[in-house]
A and B are shown apart, each in its own frame.
Chain A
Amino acid sequence: MSEMTNRKIGIALAAGSLLATAFMIAGLCFVAIDMAAPAAAEQKPEETGNAADAGSLVPYREAEEIRLLALGDSLTKGTGDATGQGYVRRVADGLSKRYNKPVKLLGNLAINGMTAQELAERLERDEGYQYAVKGANLIVFSIGGNDLFLSAYASLNGRELNEAAIDELAGDLDEALERFKRVVERLNALNPNASVVYMGLYNPFFELEELRGASAKLQDWNRAAYSELFRHPQMLMVPTFDLFEFRVLDYLSSDHFHPNEAGYERIAERMLDSL
């Protein structure tokens, strides 16, 4: 009779499943061992320091592909742009058309609300950031808006913005510039070969008469920022200040703070003009 009898099936299954059970229990034993002696960390992972240096020694114009990295705050992130492209993707697309070579966006590491302080810290400590910066041949960034506007913007939600707030804003200027300087120095130290484009600040409150004074303060920032950037020949500042004065309503999104699609489009055009 060719039929498998119960005994044969049973023994085969019992053997197979006992073997499987042994494996499961071995796994549980490993867990128990590791929990009992957490110092089983004989395999403590080493800090590698990210020796891998993908740094590009060739400027982006001559390189085979443009390796673009975006850093900074919500303006680089593209907040306010319903298409989600921001100026970064538009610049990437524009560059690839102009130079007829691939543009690799290594990443848009911009984070809403990032301040110069935070960016400086990351560039100093975060090996991932350093790695990314080293790997890029073109870096675009925007920073400083949150340092200057954070207190002002917070109060806009609560009460009317007034002259006093603008003075407060100016008070932070020197400290913020100090941090900006750290960012610039750090970028230069990490990758002196990459071209760096800084997006200048604009005054989103231009149409509010009592806040028009802020424009002058922002211009102070832009001037000071430029005086840090121009020391490094690979760094460039693209002004956006003028775009938003007469046509502030056309270019700002509904939050009256971030640009809209048209605004980002214009910023990207500006950058492309300079690249």
Chain B
Amino acid sequence: MNEPVLAVRQLCKHIKGRSIVDHVSFEIGEGEIVGFLGPNGAGKTTTIRMLVDLIKPTSGKVVICGHHVAKEPEKALRYVGCIVENPEMYSFMSGWQNLEHFAQMLDHADEARIREVTEIVQLEDRIHDKVKTYSLGMRQRLGIAQALLGRPKLLILDEPTNGLDPKGIKELRSFIRQLASDGLSLLISSHLLSEVQMLCDRVIIIDQGKVIASGKIDELIKQAAGHVHWVLGSRDAGVKLLSSDNRIKVLAGTESADDACGPIVTAMREELIPETVRRLVEHGIPVHAVHRAETTLEEMFLAMTERDTIA
């Protein structure tokens, strides 16, 4: 088996006594595109910063291509290109000067390579203009050019579609696919879940500093409880009956009857549907419609991370 490009093992970070990241572990193999999901404050950014040595872990370790990041950052970081949050570059320099600046910090990035990455991100026309004149999309592309300078094996992009217009997002998406097809591994954090769903082979979902799910998207969706929508004759009695079964979880539709118009949404396994219908009928509650909804990653994500607020 190939050595993973990135291996995160039991990573923890405490800041001022608070646990921000709690025993996070995952791996990324060669050529994989992995989505890194979590609501705001889940510990995503802290984790990413620990991957690239901006923050020292309290315990646990990050290994990139066999090198321990905290112990030999200058070796491990050679294989990483990253944009942490915004692609902030020196605005008083031109794009070219910025690239030269970062190339100087690497071992094998000469002028030819700078020209090459400029072409990859299609910035040839504006590369000699000052960065302060760039649009957000151009800055994003310059950031990626910078990240690619050292021919990394792993590219870490934090919220890459932030602030991009739909056209920019589309371009970025095809660009990322192309990078991955060249054998690059990518870790993409995003709150735009549809983006991740469309791009990534695999996702890691974290909440409150813990990994709550990870795996191939299709498998995750299959595993997850499906959503069943009920349209019932007697709404209140229906909700009461449905929630009395502890195998069924009522997600929506518990509002008072007056303003209720939509269906009652429940999370439950499919094989429970016939039995539940029978019970409803036995209790004299008319069943107008039963609809099994296709689960999207978004719904699954919400279901997972908002568990506490609903229960």
Q: Do the two chains bind?
A: yes
Which A residues contact B (CB, under 8 angstroms)?
Answer: 1, 3, 5-7
Q: Please tell me if the beta carbons of B128 and A5 are within 8 angstroms of each other in the complex.
A: no
Q: Please tell me if the beta carbons of B128 and A6 are within 8 angstroms of each other in the complex.
A: no
CB within 8 Å of A: which of B94-110? 94, 96-97, 100-101, 104
* Contact residues of A: prevailing secondary structure: loop
Give complex CA distance A1, B96 in Å: 11
Q: Please tell me if the beta carbons of B100 and A3 are within 8 angstroms of each other in the complex.
A: no
* Contact residues of B: prevailing secondary structure: helix
Give complex CA distance A7, B100 in Å: 8
Across the interface, name the chain B residue whose C-beta is closest to A2. Answer: B128
Chain B residues contacting A1 (CB-CB under 8 Å) are: 128
Across the interface, name the chain B residue whose C-beta is closest to A6. Answer: B100
Across the interface, name the chain B residue whose C-beta is closest to A7. Answer: B100
Residue count of chain B within 8 Å CB distance of chain A: 7
Across the interface, name the chain B residue whose C-beta is closest to A3. Answer: B128
Could you tell me the distance in whole angstroms from the C-beta of B175 to the nearest C-beta in chain A? 26
Chain A residues contacting B100 (CB-CB under 8 Å) are: 5-7
Chain B residues contacting A3 (CB-CB under 8 Å) are: 94, 96, 128
> Other CB < 8 Å A-B pairs besides A3-B96, A7-B100, 10 of them?
A1-B128, A3-B94, A3-B128, A5-B96, A5-B97, A5-B100, A6-B97, A6-B100, A6-B101, A6-B104
Could you tell me the distance in whole angstroms from the C-beta of A12 to the nearest C-beta in chain B? 15
Across the interface, name the chain B residue whose C-beta is closest to A4. Answer: B97
Give complex CA distance A7, B128 in Å: 15
Give complex CA distance A3, B98 in Å: 13
Give complex CA distance A5, B128 in Å: 10
Across the interface, name the chain A residue whose C-beta is closest to B101. Answer: A6
Could you tell me the distance in whole angstroms from the C-beta of A8 to the nearest C-beta in chain B? 11
Interface string of B71-108 (1 = CB under 8 A from A): 00000000000000000000000101100110010000
CB within 8 Å of A: which of B108-128? 128
Could you tell me the distance in whole angstroms from the C-beta of A142 to the nearest C-beta in chain B? 71
Chain B residues contacting A5 (CB-CB under 8 Å) are: 96-97, 100
Chain A residues contacting B104 (CB-CB under 8 Å) are: 6
Could you tell me the distance in whole angstroms from the C-beta of A162 to the nearest C-beta in chain B? 83
Give complex CA distance A1, B115 in Å: 13
Give complex CA distance A6, B103 in Å: 11
